Amino acid sequence: MIKLHVHNEFSRLRAVVLGTAKTNGPAPTLEDTYDPKSAMHLKAGTYPEVPDMVKEIASVKAVFDKYDVTVYRPTDILDYNQIFSRDIGFVIEDKFFKANILPDREQEFTAIEHVWSQVPKENRIIFPEEAHVEGGDVMPHGDYIFVGTYRGDDYADYITARTNQEAIEFLQKTFPKKKVKSFNLRKSNTVAEDNALHLDCCFQPIGKGKCIIHENGFLEKEEYEWLVNHFGKENCFQIDKKEMYHMNSNIFSISEDVIISEKNFTRLNTWLRAQGFTVEEVPYFEISKQEGLLRCSTLPLIRD
């Protein structure tokens, strides 16, 4: 049995599910893409190649090995994208939630059945059918659960809107003692620079009371300001539109003071080191072309 334990985004990591690109198969057709960034790279002929993505994920696995983290991998499904393990599930406290994701991606969860089945049955949680949710939108933060959503009446028109009101209500019901705080995110099916696919595409708490944030990812200024006030302005690293597009907020914490980050995030990595963080730099540019980065490809199971 796996004894799940996750209360925030940055306590010392002990066990994680890391995605795989090994059997990713050929690039999708334009009709089969789920986000504007993938579509853009397909049109430009710059969609990532499997060997490059395999190499990038291996560099993350090497960092986990260095810090003695137990790493679970999905079983291989031929010609299937299994990189973004955060989308398909997430852990809060001792509960493993099966995300309610795009129907086309249902198979991805079967590939981590060997992990799911090691969790006590009463701690395996399945959302009701009408509740849409993906792990990139959900962040446990002590007494809070931060959740990205889209509240527009045109929710159904956006393939980039992944978490709805019903999911937020279900989380609140599951954790009556926590404050579930939702944030209305900016969505675009066609312009990657204007699309906050998940909450972790425009915000992430890290250790030492700090966070990374992009104002324009939030549709409501007061919700963005609530976060800035909560963390304190001096503790917020503000990223611009281009940095959001390159996924600067989608790094991954191994502990309060160790962070895995993309090696090209020069401004962010310099700031992190100035704040006393150890930054483990990895190449992850090719994978980022699919509008996902380090947090998207990891599903933490146990943090101290």
Element (H, E) at 179: strand 179-184
* Span between the terminal Cα atoms of the chain, in Å: 17
Residue with tokens 């990657």: 192
Tokens coding 225: 């300001």
DSSP 27-42: PPPGGG--SHHHHHHH
Q: Are 92 and 138 in contact (CB under 8 A)?
A: yes
CA angle 191, 57, 53 (to 5 degrees): 55
**Whole-angstrom Cα distance, residue 186 to residue 224?**
12
**Whole-angstrom Cα distance, residue 47 to residue 30?**
11
pLDDT tens per residue across span 227-277: 999 999 999 999 999 999 999 999 999 999 999 999 999 999 999 999 999
According to DSSP, the residues that pair with 74 across neighbouring strands are: none
Give the residue from 69, 96, 72, 81 showing the smallest Cα distance to 253: 69
Q: Are 88 and 105 in contact (CB under 8 A)?
A: yes
Give the residue from 220, 199, 219, 221 showing the smallest Cα distance to 211: 199
According to DSSP, the residues that pair with 165 across neighbouring strands are: none
pLDDT tens per residue across span 3-17: 999 999 999 999 999
Record the pTM.
0.94
Tell me the pLDDT of the chain (304 aa) as tens digits. Answer: 999 999 999 999 999 999 999 988 777 777 777 677 777 777 888 887 889 999 999 999 999 999 999 999 999 999 888 999 999 999 999 999 999 877 777 788 999 999 999 999 999 999 999 999 999 999 999 999 999 999 989 888 888 888 999 999 999 999 999 999 999 999 887 777 777 889 999 999 999 999 999 999 999 999 999 999 999 999 999 999 999 999 999 999 999 999 999 999 999 999 999 999 999 999 999 998 887 899 999 999 999 9
**Whole-angstrom Cα distance, residue 236 to residue 234?**
6
Tokens coding 215: 């104002």
